[in-house]
Structure formats: structure tokens, C-alpha cells
């Protein structure tokens, strides 16, 4: 996060905020409020603190909300006090992070609410903004979904191309067991399903099935393995998939299609 914030500030401020320098006295202090302009779930408060820390730590930040909190339209998320120069030069970077991350958290909460009571949990994916994965994963968790693997390094997910490269489902599973990491495998046909179960697979990924097809496959699996459903899962259909008996549903839409929510920054002189 530290490096990402540094890059964002350098990108926006560069050698200096020429507008603020030109028209605002350097000695002037101000207060600024981050205000929700629509109902949302808050995320990115830690990033907000890091932004002002990197600009010299001269601004005092008061958090009115924490990650995961609901925020009504018109409510303040945070108040910042300090030199007007600092507040103005950090405004856009702070809003960019808050709007994006709160957008992810808000989308995640909608998915989590949609499956409530089914016993099925929603997972996020690796379909994230390059460089922002950790922050977007934290925002998704703040919204109430479960983080899937962070990257290619912390869990094994054998997908169709891995099976092709390994030669078979059995080859892929047997080779992967030596890693000691959790193993999940995607199966595309009933034959692959039978082979995976015969090899002792305990976490299966079923991709691009209809809810009715998924229900039939899960009935056949009969509790012998955990089941995740993915592919084309949206807010409109996620509950239908969750009601099939799956343990998990995953959706890239939580991160790749989350809309930046409307947050404003209002400055007042002290």
C-alpha cells in the first residue's frame, strides 16, 4: 500500500500543485470533509491515513466511519484538518482510492446480502485492478465476501489449461499433492468429475453451468467434496446458484465491475 500511495501522489502532484500554490496562501489552514453522496459501504480508511502521512503528517485525520460500515448519503466518512495546501493537493488521490474501494465494498455487500440464509458463501477472484489487488481484496472482505487466493502463490487452483498441460485430471492432482498447499480443481465433464473424486479431490470448481445443471452435479457429488460455482454469476442470478447446495459461488464482478461510488470532499476555512 505504501508504494502504491507514493506512486499515486507522485502521478498527480508531480513537482507541485501549481493551482493551489498560485491562489492559496501557504499559511492558511482548513478543514475538509469526505461526504458520501449515496448510500455505500465504506472501505479505504487505512489508505486515507497513509496519504496524509506521506504528505508530511501535518494533517489531522478524524475517521467517522470504519471499513465495512454503512454510510448514508450526506454522512461524513472522515474529517481532515491541516494546511490548506496539503488538503487540496491530496484531494483527488484520496477520492480516487475511497471511491474505488468503497465501490468494491458496496458491490461485495450486495452479493453477500443476496445469498443470506442459503449457507453458501461468496468468493472474490483475481480479476482485480493491476497493482491494487490487496486493497481491493480488503475492500471485498469489508463488504462481507470471502477472499479467495491472493495470487498464484498461496493456493493451487487446477484449471482446464493446467489439466491439458498435465495430461489428465489424475496427473494434475497427483503432481500437485507434493506442494502441501490447498488444492482445488476445475472439472468440465462428468468423466473429469468422476476421475477427480476417484483421486480424492476435496474441493471442486464447476464452471459455466446453469443453476439446474449445477444442482444435478452437486447431487452426484453427494458431499464428497466442497463445491464452488463460477462463470457468469451476477447479482441477478447469484441466489439461484447459491440455492443449488454449493458451498461457494465466485464472481469477478465484485472487483472488475464495481462502480466507483459518489463521494465528495468539501473544504472550509478553520
Enumerate the active-site residues.
Answer: 92, 127, 159, 186, 207
Q: Is 231 exposed, middle or buried (0-12, 13-18, 19+ CB in 10 A)?
A: middle
Cα dist from 131 to 44, 84, 107, whole Å:
15, 30, 20
Give yes or no for a contact between 209 and 189, defined as CB atoms under 8 angstroms apart.
no
Grid cell 473424486 in the structure block, residue = 197
Sheet strands (E) in the chain: 29-36, 40-41, 60-63, 70-71, 76-83, 121-123, 156-158, 183-187, 203-207, 226-230, 248-250, 263-269
Alpha carbon distance 170, 181 (integer Å): 17
Binning the chain into helix, strand and coil, the percentages to the nearest 5 are 45, 20, 35
Q: Of 251, 255, 219, which Cα lies nearest the Cα of 139? A: 255
Instruction: Estimate the crossing angle of helix 133-143 against helix 84-114, to 10 degrees.
Output: 60
Alpha carbon distance 164, 176 (integer Å): 14
Q: Cell numbers for 147, please give them.
A: 477472499
Give yes or no for a contact between 245 and 219, defined as CB atoms under 8 angstroms apart.
yes
Amino acid at each position: 500500500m505504501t508504494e502504491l500511495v507514493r506512486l499515486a501522489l507522485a502521478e498527480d502532484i508531480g513537482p507541485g500543485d501549481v493551482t493551489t500554490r498560485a491562489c492559496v496562501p501557504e499559511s492558511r489552514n482548513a478543514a475538509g470533509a469526505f461526504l458520501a453522496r449515496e448510500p455505500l459501504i465504506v472501505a479505504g480508511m487505512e489508505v486515507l491515513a497513509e496519504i496524509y502521512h506521506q504528505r508530511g503528517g501535518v494533517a489531522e485525520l478524524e475517521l467517522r466511519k470504519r471499513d465495512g460500515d454503512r454510510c448514508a448519503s450526506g454522512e461524513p466518512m472522515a474529517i481532515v484538518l491541516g494546511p490548506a495546501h496539503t488538503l487540496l493537493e491530496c484531494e483527488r488521490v484520496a477520492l480516487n482510492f475511497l471511491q474505488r474501494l468503497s465501490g468494491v465494498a458496496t458491490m461485495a455487500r450486495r452479493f453477500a446480502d443476496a445469498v443470506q440464509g442459503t449457507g453458501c458463501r461468496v468468493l472474490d477472484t483475481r480479476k482485480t485492478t493491476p497493482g491494487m489487488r490487496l486493497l481491493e481484496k480488503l475492500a471485498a472482505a469489508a463488504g462481507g465476501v470471502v477472499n479467495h487466493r491472493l495470487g498464484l502463490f498461496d493456493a493451487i487452483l487446477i484449471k482446464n489449461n493446467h489439466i491439458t498441460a498435465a495430461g489428465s485430471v489424475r496427473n494434475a492432482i497427483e503432481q500437485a499433492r507434493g506442494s502441501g498447499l490447498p488444492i482445488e480443481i476445475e472439472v468440465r465433464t462428468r468423466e473429469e468429475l468422476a476421475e477427480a473424486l476417484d483421486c480424492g479431490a476435496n474441493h471442486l470448481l464447476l464452471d459455466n453451468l446453469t443453476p439446474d445443471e449445477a444442482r444435478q452435479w452437486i447431487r452426484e457429488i453427494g458431499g464428497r467434496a466442497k463445491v464452488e460455482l463460477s462463470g457468469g454469476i451476477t447479482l441477478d442470478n447469484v441466489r439461484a446458484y447459491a440455492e443449488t447446495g454449493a458451498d461457494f459461488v465466485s464472481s469477478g464482478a465484485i472487483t472488475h465491475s464495481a462502480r466507483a461510488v459518489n463521494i465528495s470532499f468539501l473544504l472550509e476555512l478553520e
